Amino acid sequence: MDQTLAPLNTAPTPVKVSFKAQMLLAREGAIVIAVNRLLAEKGFDLMTVDEVALDVGIAKASLYKHFSSKEDLAAAAMVRVIGLAQAFLASLPPAARPLDQLKAVARWMLQQQLKGEMPSLPSQNSSLRANLMSNKAYLDGLMRISDQIGGWIEAAQADGTLSAKVPPLVVLYTLYARACDPVPGFLKAGGQHSDEDIINLVLATCFDGLNTR
């Protein structure tokens, strides 16, 4: 066989990641996880860069090699949560009723909050908002999630399992609000209900309302 006509090996050559690069990625991951937890526990305003560095066990100067500001840290935590949310949505059975999909999403958000893994961010912080709005990974992920949930909302309203009197965007925002709902925290602090009881109670008020049927 003429060697000039032999098929070329087009398989990509594996890229070997250096040990130093692996360590930097591991440190960055540890930073984001620490930020996620501190934001869930204390919120953005009370969390400090010094606390994050101390939690990870590195100098603040080393932390700044990965993230240049507190806003960057918060944005990285939100990108992580968006990724977790996308993975959860992908795990849902596609044949389930739209209303059941929406309830599953709300349940997941409440579970994340009760586990202390849902970042708490202020809605009126202009610098943080600007940072998030300029973060492509965050915006792209949020748009994909919103489109998927929005489709379920419209389908549930069309099949009569969700009230069509409320605009779909209001329903979407109401579901997103479960991620920062203070009620689960209050109930958990009271010590009278299990996490599962709290989730079921909040879901009942969210989807069934407070009026008698």
Residue 7 has pLDDT above 80, yes or no: no
Residue 1 has pLDDT above 60, yes or no: no
- Among residues of the chain, what percentage have pLDDT more than 70? 91
Tell me, what's the pLDDT at 125? 84
Other beta carbons less than 10 A from residue 80's beta carbon:
19
Average pLDDT, the chain: 89
76/211: higher pLDDT:
76
Tell me, what's the pLDDT at 148? 97
Tell me, what's the pLDDT at 169? 96
Residue 3 has pLDDT above 70, yes or no: no
Max Cα-Cα span within the chain? 83
pLDDT digits (tens, 9 = 90+) for 84-117: 999 999 999 999 999 999 999 999 999 999 998 8
Tell me, what's the pLDDT at 153? 97
Question: Which CATH class name applies to 18-207?
Answer: mainly alpha
CB-hemisphere CA count at 13 Å for 107?
13
pLDDT digits (tens, 9 = 90+) for 63-72: 998 999 999 9
User: What phi-psi label fits residue 12: left (phi over 0), alpha (psi between -120 and 50 degrees) or beta?
Assistant: beta
pLDDT digits (tens, 9 = 90+) for 18-32: 877 787 788 899 999
Q: Give the residue extent of every domain in the chain.
A: 18-207
Return the SS3 of 80.
helix
Tell me, what's the pLDDT at 2? 47
| List of E strands, 24-160 | none
- Which of the four pLDDT bands, split at 50, 70 and 90, describes residue 12? low
Q: Cβ(72)–Cβ(35) under 8 Å?
A: no
What is the average per-residue pLDDT within 49-68?
92
**Dihedral pair phi/psi, residue 95, rounded to 5°:** -85, -5
